[in-house]
Amino acid sequence: MMTYAPLKTLALLIGLLIQTTLVEAATCSASISDINFGSISVRAGAVNETSGTVNVTCSGVVGALIGICIRIGPGGGGAAPSNSPRYMRNSAGGALNYELRPIGNSAVNGTWNEVYVNIPVVLGSASANIPVYASITSNSVAVDTGAYTSVFSGVSDASITYGLLSCGLLGTEVGIPEFAVSAEVVPSCELDVTAMDFGSLQTPIASPVDETATVNVRCTNATDYSVTLDQGLGGGTGPADRRMKNGSHELSYGLYRDIARSAPWGSLASNDVDSTGIGANQSFTIYGRIPPGQPAYYGTYTDSVVVTVNY
């Protein structure tokens, strides 16, 4: 019985040597293209997506497939736990959040940490181009304008391990050459406006009827902008003489920049409101007035005025 033990040990050693020889025969390398979002807006609702490519090549492979684990770390800009999100940085260290994902840009695809692929082998060689999907997740004008980047350099930031059956197993690891993720944040603004309701009026209108509305503007820091009001749908002769309508009946009113109702607010450089963004909300009051001496017929008078932020 003892004579069988050396034969079993020898068979096991031969099997291990053959497996090691196959792995060591393969040589693989990889590169990742620079991922450049170009010029982007970070206002609410903006969608900023792009992609890059992982290029993998292998030679000296024995077999039909070779398993590759592609790992992407936080990059030079850093990242939150589990690399979601990652950060690009500007010259002052400010952060622009982004994601790198496999399969597609949807959040259901998770974050690219480790991705395992099997690459077909043809005549001892294997190659594949694997997309990396990228999306900006910062959607706030609180992000400063300017250039942002994150450089991936060294094995700690990006590498492949090959000759294995899944990520987490032993294989041959090599680094991916340096690449960068970059974006240019351009000035952007967003706004919202409350309604102006003069309420119920007595007829004839014996004294001025005053009301206000609020324009909330949010622009990226240091962005110069102006806020203009168009003439409205009802027409009229100018910003102090707009018209609300009730069928064929009209009611004159004006919109102003000051509480005294002496500075009309219109669509020209001479009667707009100018300011500079601070990366947060800035509120402006629209002062409305219905002048006295007008007859008012029963019913509801309305007008619609377009508020525009120019930057």
Q: Decide which of 143 and 16 is more confident.
A: 143
Where residue 13 falls among pLDDT bands split at 50, 70, 90? very low
pLDDT in tens, 198-219: 999 988 999 999 999 999 999 9
pLDDT of residue 180: 98
pLDDT of residue 235: 96
Where residue 4 falls among pLDDT bands split at 50, 70, 90? very low
Integer Cα distance of 282 and 219 in angstroms: 9
pLDDT of residue 85: 98
Q: List the domains of the chain with CATH numbers.
A: 21-185 (2.60.40), 189-310 (2.60.40.1090)
The pLDDT > 70 percentage for the chain reads 92
Peptide bond preceding 131 in cis form (omega within 30 of 0): no
Judged against a pLDDT cut of 60, whether residue 15 lies above it is answered with no
Judged against a pLDDT cut of 50, whether residue 182 lies above it is answered with yes
Count of Cβ atoms closer than 10 Å to residue 24 Cβ? 11
pLDDT in tens, 241-295: 999 999 999 999 999 999 999 999 999 999 999 999 999 999 999 999 999 999 9
pLDDT of residue 1: 26
Q: What is the mean pLDDT of the chain?
A: 92
Q: Left, alpha or beta for 143 (phi > 0: left; psi -120 to 50: alpha)?
A: beta
Where residue 25 falls among pLDDT bands split at 50, 70, 90? confident
Residues belonging to the chain: 311
pLDDT in tens, 40-61: 999 999 999 999 999 999 999 9
Cβ proximity of 73 and 83 under 8 Å = yes
Distance of CA 94 to the CA centre of its chain: 15
Integer Cα distance of 253 and 241 in angstroms: 6
Which amino acid, residue 77? G
pLDDT of residue 59: 97
pLDDT in tens, 73-103: 999 999 999 999 999 999 999 999 999 999 9
Judged against a pLDDT cut of 50, whether residue 165 lies above it is answered with yes
pLDDT in tens, 106-130: 999 999 999 999 999 999 999 999 9
